[in-house]
Chains A and B, each alone.
Chain A
């Protein structure tokens, strides 16, 4: 069964701007897939549909066989772990510990069980030492790792990361890559950081003007300079696809 199925998804914002014009994609269990696209392609809008934050104007989203509908929202949100682009959006509680505990506590965990889950999630991202600090006292890279922990604590079926490498310095970027590689979940990584996609994902999709314009192994996609140029994507200066 696929972790994620999206069919003919279309959506317009309340101000009238249409962002998605019929998106089709599917991701198998255990895959790590990059969703590439220029600014304004509708990447974030698509992500918001994956756990029912936005409701499809047209079309459908299915997570591990369960369609995203009003009556399945609670289950869907448990299964789809969304890591937001700005960790400040994700870390809203007064301390790191409270924040990581928020999800499992909503699922009904209390006391020692809750402590264990929180500790486990913080350990997986190497942030256990910061448990009692307020989020706004952490560095940006640390905050992003805690944001990943808040989602891991929910033990999701699929991890969806929105621009995970943005604003990270090289060391923090590498550390996050190591963490992501060590996790045993399906990953959908939304990014325009092409080297990062190549490093972490076997397969890539290009979302452009609200539709999926390409779907291929990341290596093949990134080697097609003309395709990339057509969708306003560029490899960084001096970067060449390494030969296997």
Chain B
């Protein structure tokens, strides 16, 4: 599950470390806004929850089980900033106290499993709830479903750039995307069901679905009643989240663009996934669940990817347009 030392070259490891540090720094400020002085205990307990829940195995398909990555779940339950922080701390603790995940690969692990899953999960979630109001559970499913393969593809991309083994990026991306789409279904189902379960009992705890308060009633010992005071209005979705949402949408689109590009560059993508069936079975490993072997694809020649850059540029333009439109709409509302 966790990338060890030696998977990526030093330059990539350090660059990812810088990205992760910057992401965590942004989230430290953001989490303060989400949770105020509750940040340390709340994020600490949620991190412990994520750690524990990653040990819950769930069946994915015949004979296969996976466990939650938890990025999308964390984003939906406690908000994106706190979500990234919790994932980062879980990975930090796993790396330093349990020797799980290399210290030099910490940046890569936090970027892939913390920042990307949370960002993508949150982006998709906001997108879906924006299009279909109140569909929190459906949005949670889609958010988690998308976050897993995107994280896997980000890994592939990163490995292509700075991995220590040469890979055929198109084939590997198709295989990784396919396998993780399956795992993503499991992640999606359990995330949606978990969010649904929390929503049923403590709707106020679901970050993305706050509100609903009744006026107070005063009652004497005999039961005579009177209504007083209006409760404080539920806080609106905060404006500070907009950059996060836009970032999430942007990253999703960029990565989606990459997927389609790589998939088309490798027409036998589906066959490749089928050949990876061996991988899928081995992903059933109860301790290591969704990642392990399934993640790291295969080794091959060095790919040529000029068209990839054009694709990314195109997607960025689209993402920018969407972001601009969303911004305009947001301002109109204010």
Classify A-B as touching or not with yes or no (CB < 8 A): yes
A58 B204 Cβ-Cβ under 8 A: no
| Distance of A58 Cα from B232 Cα, bound (Å) | 12
A15 B204 Cβ-Cβ under 8 A: yes
A58 B212 Cβ-Cβ under 8 A: no
Residues of A within 8 A of B218 (CB): 8, 10, 21-22, 58
**Smallest CB separation, B45 vs chain A (Å):** 10
| Distance of A209 Cα from B217 Cα, bound (Å) | 12
B221 A12 Cβ-Cβ under 8 A: no
A12 B216 Cβ-Cβ under 8 A: yes
**Within residues 6 to 34 of chain A, which ones have a CB less than 8 A from any CB in chain B?**
8, 10-12, 14-16, 18, 21-22
Report the nearest A residue to B221, measured CB to CB: A211
Report the nearest B residue to A214, measured CB to CB: B221
Counting from the closest, the 7 A-B pairs by CB-CB distance are: A21-B219, A14-B204, A16-B214, A22-B218, A57-B216, A58-B228, A10-B216
Report the nearest A residue to B225, measured CB to CB: A21
**Within residues 89 to 107 of chain A, which ones have a CB less than 8 A from any CB in chain B?**
92
A18 B216 Cβ-Cβ under 8 A: yes
Residues of B within 8 A of A37 (CB): none
**Smallest CB separation, A23 vs chain B (Å):** 10
With A57-B231, A211-B221, A213-B221: A15-B216 Cβ-Cβ less than 8 Å: no
With A21-B217, A21-B219: A10-B203 Cβ-Cβ less than 8 Å: no
A12 B219 Cβ-Cβ under 8 A: no
A22 B41 Cβ-Cβ under 8 A: no
* From B41, B212, B219, B220, contact of A16 by CB (8 A): B212
A-contact bits for B199-220, CB 8 A (1 contact / 0 none): 0001110000000111011111
| Distance of A17 Cα from B214 Cα, bound (Å) | 8
A-contact bits for B220-254, CB 8 A (1 contact / 0 none): 11000000110100000000000000000000000
Residues of B within 8 A of A212 (CB): 221
A18 B214 Cβ-Cβ under 8 A: yes
With A57-B231, A213-B221: A15-B41 Cβ-Cβ less than 8 Å: no
A135 interface residue, CB < 8 Å from B?
no
A87 interface residue, CB < 8 Å from B?
no
A-contact bits for B250-268, CB 8 A (1 contact / 0 none): 0000000000000000000
Residues of B within 8 A of A209 (CB): 219
**Within residues 107 to 157 of chain B, which ones have a CB less than 8 A from any CB in chain A?**
none
| Distance of A212 Cα from B218 Cα, bound (Å) | 13
Residues of A within 8 A of B214 (CB): 12, 16, 18
With A10-B228, A15-B203, A58-B228: A211-B219 Cβ-Cβ less than 8 Å: yes
**Smallest CB separation, B100 vs chain A (Å):** 22
Residues of A within 8 A of B204 (CB): 14-15
| Distance of A212 Cα from B214 Cα, bound (Å) | 23
**Smallest CB separation, A78 vs chain B (Å):** 17
Show 15 residue pairs from A and B whose CB-CB distance is below 8 angstroms, ordered by the A residue: A8-B218, A10-B216, A12-B216, A18-B216, A18-B217, A21-B217, A22-B220, A57-B228, A57-B231, A58-B216, A58-B218, A210-B219, A211-B219, A211-B221, A212-B221
| Distance of A92 Cα from B204 Cα, bound (Å) | 25
B221 A11 Cβ-Cβ under 8 A: no
Residues of A within 8 A of B221 (CB): 211-213
Residues of B within 8 A of A14 (CB): 204, 213
